[in-house]
Amino acid sequence: MTAQEIFRRVDLTMLRRDATETDIRHTVREGLRLSAASVCVPPCFVQTAAAYSEGMLPVCTVIGFPNGYSTDAVKCFEAEDAVRNGASEIDMVITTGLLREGRDEALLRQINAVREACGEAILKVIVETCLLHADEKTRVLSIVDRSSAEYIKTSTGFGSAGAQIEDVRLWKSLIQNGTKIKAAGGIRTLAQAQAFLEAGADRIGASHLDE
C-alpha cells in the first residue's frame, strides 16, 4: 500500500484544545496536499475550514466531544449547526453510560436521532473502546450496525488509550449490515495506519503520519 493510497483514507485531524485559525488553515493545506479523505476540526472552526478548502476537501467535525455527556437534543443541535456551517462528516461520541447500563435501545435511538440531524452528512459513531469491557465492545458494534450511521470509530484520541488492532479485527468479523470502521487514537506512522487498514479499518484518524 503506497503512502498516497493510505492518505486517501485518512481524516487529517486538528483537535488540539489550543488550535487556532492558523492551525486549521495549515491542516487544510496539508489535507489538500496529501489528498486526504477529509480534515477533522473543532466545531468552532468548521466555517473556517469549509471556506478555506473551497469545496475541494470534505470537512469533518466532532459532536458531544470528547466525553459524550450531552443530551440527545444537544447532540442533534450540534450536528445540525455543523452541517449548516459546512461539515459533510460528523464524528459523534456516544453516551457510554447507556451502554454500561444495558440501555441498548436508548443508545440506538440516540445514534439514529443524530444521524437524522446530519441530513446528507456522514455520521461516524465514536465509542471510546478503552472504556469498554469485551462484551460491551461486541454489543456496541451490534448497536451501531443496526443503526443508520455509516461508521463506528474506536476512540476520541483523548482517552487513556487509542485504537487497538484486535478491536478492529473483532468488529470486522461481526459486521452484518455494512457498517464501516474508523480507527483513531495513537496512530502516528504510515506503517501503523496500513496495519489498521489491513485489519479491516476503512478510515484512519490521525494528526500526522510519519514514515
Strand segments, DSSP code E, in 24-133 are 38-41, 59-63, 89-93, 122-126
Residue 40 exposed, middle or buried by CB count within 10 Å (0-12, 13-18, 19+): buried
Q: What is the mean pLDDT of residues 155-162?
A: 93
The pLDDT value given to residue 17: 95
Q: Report the percentage of the chain scoring pLDDT > 90.
A: 99
Whether the CA torsion 173, 174, 175, 181 is positive or negative: it is negative
User: CA-to-CA distance for 204 and 187, rounded, in angstroms?
Assistant: 8
| 91 is an active site residue | yes
Domains and CATH numbers, the chain: 3-206 (3.20.20.70)
Position 211 pLDDT exceeds 90: no
The active-site residue, picked from 11, 72, 75, 91, is 91
| 180 is an active site residue | no
The active-site residue, picked from 75, 124, 137, 153, is 153
| 153 is an active site residue | yes
pLDDT in tens, 99-119: 999 999 999 999 999 999 999
> Which SS3 state, helix, strand or coil, does residue 185 take?
coil
The active-site residue, picked from 124, 137, 180, 182, is 182
C-alpha cell at 70: 450531552
